[in-house]
Amino acid sequence: MTDNAVPTLVQTEWLASQLDNPSVRIVDATWMLPNAARKGIEDFSAGHIPGAVFWDIDAIADPASSLPHMMPDEATFERHMNSLGISNDHHVVVYDSVSMMTSARVWWALRAFGHDRVSLLDGGAVKWRAEGRALSADAAEIGDTSFKAGFNPAMVRSLDDVRANLDTGAAQVLDARSAGRFAAAEPEPRPECRSGHIPGSLNLPFNTLIDPATSTIRPAAELSASLAKAGIDCARPVVTTCGSGITACVLALAMHLTGKDDVAIYDGSWTEWGSRTDTPVAT
């Protein structure tokens, strides 16, 4: 790795050798679905990678929005980064305890605000714990920082953008939810949401891109094959969606690892689309 670039994925062996490196800031991004029996902060408090800080996905969000964890403005994001001790010079390494379900959201958010020095821990805390590596319940030391954000609007799509796309078909819409939720055969975890999917969208459940034996993301060749099987033409624009804009970022990560870097996220995702009465739903 160079001073100006970091790998998208780092391995547990490498991170274990960097725990005392002040230029590396480790971030725990564990988040649970609303119907889960526990919260991410509970996992973090019980034991996390030494030196890690907790990124609260629900808190680092737009405080004015009624939708969950929508992207904040630059000033709000900067304030949160400074509270976590993250500077523009840090190499940020993100992990989670839920088989890489949520860490990609933080990877994507940092990049959307102009911070490209961010990597994902391949396998996350699941692999780290399986290898018997050190855990800590101690709070990390957080120094003074002055993070400067520069938001890239091309990485985010709004309700109006996705609604307009119904007519133009300019972008392919790829849904990361389970096949059952996509087809309205399973209930939504948020009862206010209707069941089904955005008309014309395609489906690629995010968890099929993760190796269940190791919790690591699958090799690029397998990711490409999964995208093609889902009907995605990587030469065309893609907007990813999910329940609330979190696992959509796993799809964006998969495409990034195959060389496609122009993917946008529908931030409101199904929580916004499925809870309205003026948006069409297919089943």
Residue whose pair of structure tokens reads 């929580």 in the numeric block: 271
Average pLDDT over residues 47-71: 97
Contacts of 50 (CB under 8 A, 6+ apart): 19, 134, 135, 136, 138
H or E segment to which residue 108 belongs: helix 103-112
Q: Measured between alpha carbons, how far is 67 from 10 in angstroms, rounded to an integer? A: 32
For residue range 190-202, list pLDDT tens digits in order.
999 999 999 999 9
4 pLDDT exceeds 70?
no
Question: Which pLDDT score, from 0 to 100, does residue 37 have?
Answer: 79
Average pLDDT over residues 2-17: 87
* Selection from 100, 31, 109 nearest residue 70 by Cα: 109
pTM strictly above 0.85 = yes
Q: Measured between alpha carbons, how far is 7 from 237 in angstroms, rounded to an integer? A: 24
The radius of gyration of the chain's CA atoms, rounded to the nearest angstrom, is: 18
Fold of 9-151: Oxidized Rhodanese; domain 1 (3.40.250)
Average pLDDT over residues 160-180: 98
Average pLDDT over residues 206-227: 98
Full strand arrangement of the beta sheet holding 172-175: 156-157, 264-266, 238-241, 172-175, 202-203
Q: Measured between alpha carbons, how far is 250 from 102 in angstroms, rounded to an integer? A: 8
Domain 154-273 in CATH 3.40.250.10? yes
Share above pLDDT 70 across residues of the chain, in percent, rounded to a whole number? 99
Question: Which pLDDT score, from 0 to 100, does residue 117 have?
Answer: 98
* Selection from 26, 33, 6, 272 nearest residue 156 by Cα: 272
Give how far Cα 114 sits from Cα of 74, 91, 155, Å. Answer: 10, 13, 11
| pLDDT band, very low/low/confident/very high, at 1 (cuts 50, 70, 90) | very low
242 is catalytic: yes
Domain(s) labelled CATH 3.40.250.10 in the chain stretch across 9-151, 154-273
| DSSP code for 196 | S
DSSP-derived 3-state class of residue 69 = coil
Average pLDDT over residues 266-281: 98
Query: CB of 131 within 8 A of CB of 215?
Result: no
